[in-house]
A and B are shown apart, each in its own frame.
Chain A
Amino acid sequence: MSARSDAIAPPLYAAADFAVILAPALAFKFAADRGGLGDTKGMDLVIASAVLGAIHAVIAGHRLFDEEHTAHRRADIWIAAIDALAVLALAATLLPAVVLWGFAEEHASIANRGHPVVALWIGTQLVAVVLAELTGRAVFRWLEPPSAPEGGPD
């Protein structure tokens, strides 16, 4: 990999990470717009996901940057990163959908109390982010176990 691609790849990965978190909220917004709710309906979720996505994109970018300084093999970084992104893509979309679908009754009871719906949305996406982050770090650690110190203390 060239120095140029070294510089471009982490921001591209961070952008993909951001997009994956934002996409489900955009899907809901798209559905609202198509139905004629072209005002602020759905924007709360888009904003919530955008904030979470931006924060995690920075974290993911830093993770790659740190791993580039410690990794013995560049391939390990990207294998772990792709694994993390796959988990993020699935969980960030599937978890909110399953939670909203499977517990519709419970959520409806909180809908008239203001922000809990947004908090629920952020909560499910936060779980997805944590799962992805754990996956990325665990796979990287598995591929590049910390070296045992040479010689032990006497």
Chain B
Amino acid sequence: MGGGPDGPGHLRLAIRGARGPRRRDRGGVSDVSRRQFLAATGGVAGTAAAGGILAGHVWPLLTREDLIPGRAPELTLEPGSWTTAPDRLRFAAIGDNGSGGRHAMAVATQMARTYEHLPFGLVALLGDICYYGNLADRYDHVFRRPMAPLLDAGVGFELAIGNHDAGLRHSDEGIAEIEAELGLLGTPGRYYSTTHGPADFFYLDSSEPGVFGPDAPTQWEWLDDTLAAATSQWRIVCLHHPLYSSGRHGSTLGARRRLEPILRRHHVDLVLAGHDHHYERTHPVDGITYVVSGGGCKTTRVGHSTFTATATAALQFLLVDIDDDRLTGHCIGVGGATIDRFHLRAREHR
């Protein structure tokens, strides 16, 4: 390579050519120089645009989302093999598992494997059960396929509504999607309570219409009344948005302001949430332990707050064992390892 006729100073000529008089542009050197200028400018602009798009949008997407389709678990489980004694209950809780991707399948597979050794008859879904589309279209892929072993074993699923917390606020589309989810999951309503063995469960709708819509006070009054009438030894509240979180979204302060006095007044034991894609457990706050179990298919960074007892960004689900007046929670990772274990004792007055 010998440098060419224009030599190293040619780029200067190129820039000059772009600004220079057009009368020299018929063929020859300055026409080529103008092309160089355009191509170089296009390259620089393209590189800057590519860098901006990649750094601002695409890379966060790749490192945060669960976009690679996953293989569904192919286990066959013994149906109905869990304990049904009135003072005992084992259940799982999982949030934000609606991708249908590899990570979601890995967590679902681990749930099925855990069932083989520690069978449970209930899964509390903590919201966001469908990403990248609506549930009516994606039901099979984001719910039926990953949970097939558990569904076939007769495990029950109860859903805390959590979708459409950002882009579909108060919209008809958002409410229609919520209605579709409720219908597909067989959930009795947007907020409801159930009883399993020694525990009462209270499922809330913390989506934007649920928390901040015109019907929100009705839901809080319902919770107040239903908790007041609760008679079981354990009271567990499930909702999508965490009242305490050190993650990407953080604590949902609006919901905390409205909910916390009710939870405190009725001595709730455990509050399970998702939304932030990590696992976090608080120290008891006024006797209430708050758990974020949102690592159903994605992970995002989590910090430590004054209320944090333990926190980690991991794909996980929660397994809770209740034996009379003792409750033990296990945060289980995709490899089957226990990430966290905690113990609660039932309130003395119950």
> What is the interface of chain A, defined by CB distance below 8 A to chain B?
1, 6, 24, 27-28, 30-32, 34-39, 41-42, 45, 68-69, 71-76, 79-80, 82-83, 85-87, 89-90, 93-94, 97, 100-101, 104-105, 107-112, 117, 121, 139, 142-144
Contact = CB atoms under 8 A, between A and B. Distances in A.
B253 interface: no
B39 A139 contact: yes
A105 B47 contact: no
B296 to A, nearest CB: 10
B69 A110 contact: yes
B299 interface: yes
A97 B64 CA distance: 12
A86 B51 CA distance: 9
Interface size class of B (residues with CB under 8 A): 35 or more
B5 to A, nearest CB: 6
B40 A79 contact: yes
A88 B266 CA distance: 59
A100 B44 CA distance: 28
Contacts of A85: 47
Nearest to A31: B63
Contacts of A76: 36
A83 B37 CA distance: 12
Contact of B314 (A36, A75, A97, A139): A36
A45 B50 CA distance: 22
Contact of B36 (A36, A79, A97): A79
Nearest to A25: B62
Given A31-B63, A74-B1, A86-B47, A93 B70 contact: no
Given A108-B100, A111-B71, A143-B35, A31 B62 contact: yes
A127 to B, nearest CB: 16
Nearest to A145: B32
B67 A108 contact: no
Given A37-B106, A83-B42, A75 B14 contact: yes
Contacts of B184: none
B64 A31 contact: yes
